[in-house]
């Protein structure tokens, strides 16, 4: 997979996940990735709305490992790996190349 395809697919899945999470939580006390946020004071600064009101925003951080296995099977692509504390991400007994890539991102959550 080319880098541009990987980036496109990764960002598309993140955005789709955020959209689905917003829909599943539309009647709750949180707003996932709300519009109109402004951060002042650098990375650790507080979030404000357009009226300069402080907002109760927390960032949810994700670090995801993606494994791509290039083997002779017809199945391929990326799979998400979930870390096992004290263990390995995963093993394969098939011949082929295995690439592990990690991505980190955060999503703001506004508590109303």
Higher pLDDT, 79 or 32: 32
Looking at residue 42, its pLDDT comes to 65
In angstroms, the CA 91 to CA 55 distance is: 44
Cα 16 from Cα 75, distance rounded (Å): 23
Q: Please determine, for residue 77, whether its predicted confidence score (pLDDT) is greater than 70.
A: no
Q: What is the pLDDT of residues 17-63, one digit of tens each?
A: 999 999 999 999 999 998 888 887 766 668 888 888 888 888 899 99
Q: How many residues does the chain have?
A: 112
Q: Taking the alpha carbons of 5, 11, 15, 20 in that order, is the dihedral positive or negative?
A: positive
Question: Above pLDDT 90, what percent of the chain?
Answer: 29
- The DSSP bridge partners found for residue 71 are 96
Q: Cα separation of 99 and 66, whole Å?
A: 8
Residue pair 33/107 in contact by the 8 Å Cβ criterion: yes
């Amino acid at each position: 997979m080319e880098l541009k395809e990987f980036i496109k697919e990764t960002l598309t899945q993140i955005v789709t996940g955020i959209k689905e999470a917003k829909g599943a939580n539309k009647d709750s006390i949180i707003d996932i990735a709300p519009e109109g946020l402004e951060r002042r004071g650098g990375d650790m600064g507080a979030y404000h709305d357009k009226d300069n009101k402080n907002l109760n925003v927390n960032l949810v951080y994700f670090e995801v490992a993606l494994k791509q296995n290039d083997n002779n099977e017809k199945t391929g692509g990326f799979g998400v790996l979930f870390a096992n504390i004290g263990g390995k991400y995963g093993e394969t007994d098939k011949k082929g190349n295995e690439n592990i890539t990690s991505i980190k991102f955060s999503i703001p959550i506004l508590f109303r």
